[in-house]
Structure 1
Amino acid sequence: MKALRPLGWLYLALAYAFIFLPVVVLVVYSFQDGRLPVPPFKGVTLEWYGKILSDRDLVAAMGNSILLAVLTSALALVLGFLAAHGLARVRLPGSGLMRLVLIAPMTVSYLIIALGLLQVFNQVGVRPSLVTAGIGHVVINLPLCFAICFAAMGDQQKSAERAARDLGAAEWQVLVQVSAPMLAPALAAAFFLSVTFSWDEFIIAFLLTRFDVTLPVEIWSMLKSGLSPATNAVGSLVFLISVIAVVLAEILVVRRRG
């Protein structure tokens, strides 16, 4: 077994290189002192970060993405938590089918979901906007929140909820003061995963927005004029915000366990 350890470490190093090397290249060439993000590396400059942060359209798109990610993730979390709690605690006819229907959007392509929503909105006369894109993000994130919350609900929470009801707690108090705090790590994980998925989602945002676009759509518009270190700088900021969301989720989960 000891002879195989070097192979294990080599495999681990190659796996990490395969995952993170593109990100490293993206970040490094966002500081390129030149017009193109290609070798050779000509020096370090913050010009491109200053350029994108002074671009009003880009900053507005970034604000739209953050707003959309936080609000839709919060709504998806509430709906997913309530659905998971109801199906986990109450035996209903066809509850297995209900769970299947709730999780089904996870197996459907975002393109299919976006096209279906676009047709529905066109039929009812609703124009593409951040609201329609937000509805699409809730559709794709609700199954994730439901699955995480449902998997985390066990007998321990059920016993605590029963005890709270026996002590005279109303149903909303059981949900807010007992169920939610006991499921805090799962709720935090579901919320931050939804934020990361919504934050960099492109297809739904592209098809369901018109004037107020999100950051991925704005990046796509920038790429139509060719590659530049500015696009690398935007990508680096997107990656940084995603990392911050994951780190915050880990901190909340570790603190809760502690």
Structure 2
Amino acid sequence: MRMLGWAYMAAIFIFIFLPVVVLVLFSFQESRLPVPPFDGPTLKWYTQVIADRNLMEALRNSLFVALISAAIALLLGFFAAQGLSRVKLPGSVLMRGVLIAPMTVSYLIIALGLLTVFNNMGFRPSLWTTGIGHVVINLPLCFAILFAAMGDHQKNAERAARDLGASEIQIMFLVTAPMLKPALLAAYFLAVTFSWDEFIIAFLLTRFDVTLPVEIWSMLRSGLSPATNAIGSLVFLVSIAILIILEFTVFRKPKS
């Protein structure tokens, strides 16, 4: 029975990581097609990617949109979770449902709706409109994570701080936020990840300054290339490096 469990776990890991292994492997392909048999290794595709001005510009655009939109979504989600968890308002259940509702809606529908609104308001597609779209899809995620993390122990700590004379702003930023640090970081980096990978909203709400997924899509229109594998490998390795750094710095439990 134990062997069956190990075999099942190995099959799950192979199913998840085999596409990534193939992606990384054929990013070192010598020939122009990332297909077997493997011919390499070579670093010329990584050199070509780093030297591509359009790709580097798209990379900077993706970082800008992801970091800024995730920060705004986190701040708004925190305020909404703080208010709805601490104050009993008429229709608060309905308010929570409305806040979480965008998580159940297709990104295509959200993108088309935002495109219509921006056109009627006279806003042209840009990185800013894309950032607004990413705030719309990430705010419900941040709200759900933070609302679920707010418990009675935080209410008691806030009550004690209030009894000691702390103002509401001091309580929010000196008591509540530090106690919610793991949830805040988790919500922020998940929002960054979703914004970083998002394609449909970025495709419909940008024009000239595109994000990395849109730039990769334009490259794929001309066919497969080890260069696209190299881009994917770099993004994957950066994500893994960030995850490892966070695991050993932020999420590491202190020794008792």
Match of 1:17 in 2: 14
**Is the counterpart of residue 128 in structure 1 residue 129 in structure 2?**
no
Distance (whole Å) between structure 1 residues aligned to residue 179 and residue 162 of structure 2: 16
Match of 1:141 in 2: 138
Match of 1:8 in 2: 5
Q: What is the CA deviation profile of residues 169-202 of structure 1, one whole-angstrom value per residue up to 9, with x for unaligned ones?
A: 1111111100000000000000011111111110
- Residue pair 1:200, 1:238 contacting (<8 A) in 2 also: no
Q: What is the CA deviation profile of residues 45-92 of structure 1, one whole-angstrom value per residue up to 9, with x for unaligned ones?
A: 110001010000100000010111111111100100110010000000
Distance (whole Å) between structure 1 residues aligned to residue 111 and residue 102 of structure 2: 11
Out of 222, 234, 256, the position equivalent to 1:225 is 222
Distance (whole Å) between structure 1 residues aligned to residue 28 and residue 254 of structure 2: 38
Question: Which structure 2 residues correspond to residues 49-68 of structure 1 after superposition, within 5 A?
Answer: 49-68=46-65
Match of 2:252 in 1: 254
**Residue 241 of structure 1: CA displacement?**
2.7
Out of 195, 205, 221, the position equivalent to 2:192 is 195
RMSD of Structure 2 on Structure 1 (CA): 1.3
Structure 1: gaps spanning 5 or more residues: none
- Residue pair 1:196, 1:245 contacting (<8 A) in 2 also: no
Question: Which structure 2 residues correspond to residues 1-258 of structure 1 after superposition, within 5 A?
Answer: 4-251=1-248, 252-255=250-253
The size of the alignment, in residue pairs, is 255
- Residue pair 1:188, 1:253 contacting (<8 A) in 2 also: no
Identity, % of aligned pairs? 69
**Residue 33 of structure 1: CA displacement?**
1.0
**AA of the residue aligned to 1:93:** P
Distance (whole Å) between structure 1 residues aligned to residue 85 and residue 35 of structure 2: 53
Comparing 110-119 with 233-242, greater Cα deviation is found at 233-242
Structure 2: gaps spanning 5 or more residues: none
- Residue pair 1:185, 1:256 contacting (<8 A) in 2 also: no
| Change in CA separation of 1:80 and 1:245 when aligned onto 2, cut-off 3 Å | farther
**Residue 147 of structure 1: CA displacement?**
0.3
**AA of the residue aligned to 1:82:** F
| Change in CA separation of 1:250 and 1:68 when aligned onto 2, cut-off 3 Å | same
Report SS of the residue matched to 1:254: coil
Distance (whole Å) between structure 2 residues aligned to residue 149 and residue 9 of structure 1: 35
**AA of the residue aligned to 1:52:** V
Report SS of the residue matched to 1:226: coil
Please, what TM-score do these two structures have when normalized by structure 2?
0.97
**AA of the residue aligned to 2:86:** R
**AA of the residue aligned to 2:227:** A
